[in-house]
Chains A and B, each alone.
Chain A
Amino acid sequence: MNNEQNEFKKNPLGVQIDLSKFELATEEEKAQQEVMSESTTFFKDGMKKLMKNPLAVFSIIMLCIIILAAVVGPAVIPYEYSEMISVNGRRDKTAKNLAPFEWSKNEQKVIDGGEKLFPHILGTDEQCRDYLVRVLYGTRVSLFVGFFAALLVLIIGLLYGSISGYMGGRVDLIMMRIVDIIYSLPDTLMVILLSVVLKSTLAPAIEGTQLAKLGVNMISLFIVFGLLYWVGMARLIRGQILSIKENEYVLAAQATGAKSGWIIRKHIIPNCLSVIFISTALQIPSAIFTESFLSFIGLGVQAPMPSLGSLANAAREGMQSYPHKLVIPAIVICLLVLSFNLLGDGLRDAFDPKLRR
């Protein structure tokens, strides 16, 4: 066969077929083709990268501990966040400002009598309330505000940004000018002003409804977030949609007759999902930051509900004698913000397509 082939003179312009290319593959050659790594999805690959990042793993563990403590802690400890310590059904006035693990005089008597009481691991505050429960509950409030505010920002930003990016033209121009203006508002001034206004105007409006349980301050906090903080997200999503819309595969899909619903579902959303997810994760610490700031200046959640900011603020008065009451909520705020920041950075390194190598 080979001899036969060699008899032909190689003509560079001819369409002679190299017959050796059509021989059957041996078993060995077939096996070579099968050496492939296990197929992996974008998500799996990202998670693998995330788990290799020690800072991200540290922050995940830290967040798990904090969330677990905030969720389980108040259920395990037999004191309520608004409950003043009482002994045998009577309010115990000696349980004021106890140091960590200290018993009040009345409690000491009960313990001497053979009963067992749950220790005040972080002592009590100036109104005879167990401080650990208050800190844990405050953490829960801060986390709740953080998650919910991030969700709110995501929803509003997603709707606004995708409408603006998808419509384009004049609608886009006007919508983005509005965003520009809101973006350049000095947010803290507006937040303070709006919380004061909402606090006093909302109270009668929501009285008696389900919302009243949350407290006016909490709701006004969310309204403020919904009004002011979505602009960054809206800009980001619009930018994403604009740049993805220009890609060749979208053009190809359009050329092959895909409907716009299909293009949005199959091409645009999956491609901007990771960026949206990451910036939502980074929104949480900034919401916690703002909430604790507002609570610190007395505009955050309503007493007796604690939040980390209001606990720190309340502890300022007795800071000379009871520094731990200031230090503990302060440390929890810092740990929360730090962990969420590190996690967000880790997620970005692992999932952002522009940073992947």
Chain B
Amino acid sequence: MAKYVVKRILLAVLTVLVISVITFFAMNAIPGGPFSGEKALSPEVERVLMERYNLDKPVPVQYFIYMRRLLQGDFGVSLKTGREISKTVFESFAVSARLGGMAAVVAVIIGVVMGSIAALNRNRWPDRLIIFLSTLATAVPSFVLATLLLLIFCIQLGWFPVFSTTNQNYVLPVIALSLYPMAYITRLTKTSMLDALGQDYVRTARAKGVPVVKVIFKHALRNALIPVITYVGPMLAYILTGSLVVENIFTIGGLGSKFVTGITNRDYPMIMATTIFLASLMVVMNLLSDLVYKLVDPRIKFD
């Protein structure tokens, strides 16, 4: 157990390190620097700026300087706005996290309920309807769904105001982000629930006279939920990447939009900070969901 955990943590750290290297060298390979594009700066000013942000040094040296500061908790300042990046990242992450968290909770709750209903009504109309809808839902990319929702409910029907910082209505973005994971969880729960319902212990419990509701919730559902745990990591990754465009479509100033504008602005510290932050988040979530999965189900062996 301990050996497995240590191995996984080492791999996670290595992954984040690889990501930081790729990102750093890749973004430096993009032609054009953070100070090109705007009004042409005089050569002296540019030289001073480059020196100040260590941009005149070779890229590997820059990388080590950056990483040393990062390990001390210093994300640096934005080359565009001059603001401290840690502040910007955490502020916009708060918005993204609220949106993503809501989407995740909605997806899990509705998905599990739908999946259980489908499994308990196997081959009857609720099952067919739910599976039909979830098949449809897995084919709709989140950005398509987001634009269509915006078109129908904000513009054509006018039921919801368009999202803005003063008026935060999360309903549509949450639907756009949660539909795909919801459909996936529905199908996952259905299969594992059917599997659990066919187990001997369920039959034994029924034979002993345990009420149906108790059998479903205590015996079947608890075991059926184990595979759902493994999907939590990939789901958060999906929601995070989905939020890159969904935030853009609904004009929510989250972390995703910071990443995209960072790239277009060549704001090196901003790109690094958002990438490392999001990547670490995903890696940690994946790690946690794997570990929890193995803890919850004693039948699974560690390799």
- A-to-B contact residues, CB < 8 Å: 177, 180-181, 184-190, 192-194, 196-197, 200-201, 285, 289, 292-293, 296-297, 309, 312, 316, 319-320, 323, 326-327, 330, 333-335, 337-338, 341-342
Contacts and interface: CB of A to CB of B under 8 A. Distances in A.
Contacts of A189: 241, 259, 275, 278-279
Interface stretch (B22-30, B52-60, B119-127, B194-202): B22-30
Contacts of B249: 316
Contact of B139 (A187, A197, A338): A338
B144 to A, nearest CB: 5
Interface of B: 11-12, 14-15, 18-19, 22-23, 26-27, 29-32, 135-136, 138-141, 143-144, 147-148, 150-151, 155-156, 237, 240-241, 244-245, 248-249, 259-260, 263, 271, 275, 278-279, 282-283, 286
B155 A197 contact: no
15 contacts: A184-B11, A184-B15, A184-B282, A186-B278, A189-B259, A192-B260, A193-B263, A201-B30, A292-B144, A293-B143, A296-B245, A312-B144, A323-B155, A334-B144, A337-B141
B18 A181 contact: yes
Contacts, number: 113
A74 to B, nearest CB: 23
Nearest to A180: B11
Contacts of A186: 19, 237, 240-241, 278-279, 282
A101 B12 CA distance: 57
B283 A184 contact: yes
Contacts of B240: 186, 188
B279 A181 contact: no
A102 B282 CA distance: 50
Given A185-B19, A188-B241, A190-B22, A334 B31 contact: no
Contacts of A193: 22-23, 26-27, 263, 271, 275
The listed residue with most B CB atoms (<10 A of its CB), out of A186, A200, A285, A335, is: A186
Contact of B245 (A289, A293, A334): A293
A167 B135 CA distance: 40
Given A184-B286, A193-B271, 17 more contacts: A181-B18, A185-B15, A185-B279, A189-B259, A192-B259, A193-B22, A193-B263, A197-B29, A201-B31, A297-B248, A316-B249, A319-B147, A326-B147, A330-B148, A337-B139, A337-B141, A338-B135
A333 B31 contact: no
Contact of B151 (A200, A201, A323, A341): A323
Contact of B30 (A196, A296, A319, A326): A196
Contacts of B14: 181
B120 to A, nearest CB: 23
B144 A197 contact: no
A53 to B, nearest CB: 13
Contact of A201 (B22, B29, B244, B279): B29
B67 to A, nearest CB: 18
Nearest to A188: B241
Given A181-B11, A334-B140, A337-B139, A197 B275 contact: no
A192 B263 contact: yes
A319 B155 contact: yes
A196 B141 contact: no
A194 B237 CA distance: 18
A194 B286 CA distance: 23
A312 B147 contact: yes
A181 B115 CA distance: 33
Contacts of B150: 319
A197 B138 contact: no
B147 A323 contact: no
The listed residue with most B CB atoms (<10 A of its CB), out of A200, A320, A334, is: A334
Contacts of B259: 189, 192
Contacts of B19: 185-186, 190
Contact of B147 (A187, A188, A285, A316): A316
A307 to B, nearest CB: 13
A119 B216 CA distance: 60
Nearest to B249: A316
The listed residue with most A CB atoms (<10 A of its CB), out of B26, B141, B144, is: B144
Contact of A327 (B136, B141, B148, B237): B148
A333 B18 CA distance: 34
